[in-house]
Amino acid sequence: MSHRRLPIKVMWGGVKLGLKTSKQVEAAYEGIQSAVKQKYPHAVIDGVSVQKMARPGTEVIIGMTKDSQFGPVLMFGLGGILVELLKDVSFRIVPLEKKDAQEMIREIKGYPILEGFRGMEPVDVSVLEEILLKLSRFVDENPAIKELDLNPIFAYRDGAVAADARVILEENAVTL
């Protein structure tokens, strides 16, 4: 029996933000190692990922789940804590057409925030539409995906960056 090493994301103590110096990165690395060893004493740690911190923007969420009758369904809404607080989201069945992506974004009550409500910077909605369409194609081509969340996506006037992603595969999915 072979053992596969799978990457795991440590939710508790595994994310460090706002690091500006190499000493801060080193201290964060040691803290993550310690947190993982405490929580998962037998874990094999192959390393950590260090990434440039995304600049603040308007947070949106794009997610996917499988409905027992309709199959893959995409969700769009305001992200971060707003999705939990407001539950202002829209849904469409995969595969999406351009019109579906446009409607999903514009039908949430929070759409004025994306337009630049009360002096906020407007976001490039066409970029969000393209993300929805690409994710729809990705999900349609990969039936082993059971759930997927991109949250938050920081949306800007000049693009968007997904700061966190979670993918759950079907229990019986064959992966390479």
- Dump pLDDT digits (tens) for 76-134: 999 877 777 778 999 999 999 999 999 999 999 999 999 999 988 999 999 999 999 99
User: What end-to-end distance do the CA atoms of the chain give, in Å?
Assistant: 16
The structure tokens listed for 134 are 């690409």
* Residue 2 structural domain: 1-52
CATH number at residue 66: 3.30.470.20
Domain count, the chain: 2
Residues 44 and 91 in one domain: no
Residues 156 and 78 in one domain: yes
Residues 131 and 64 in one domain: yes
Secondary element (H or E) of residue 23: helix 22-39
Longest pairwise C-alpha distance within the chain: 60
Per-residue pLDDT, 13: 64
Residues 133 and 147 in one domain: yes
Residues 44 and 92 in one domain: no
Please list the residues that pair with 162 across neighbouring strands. 153
User: 3-state DSSP call for residue 102?
Assistant: helix
Residues 62 and 115 in one domain: yes
Residues 80 and 48 in one domain: no
pLDDT at 8 over 70: no
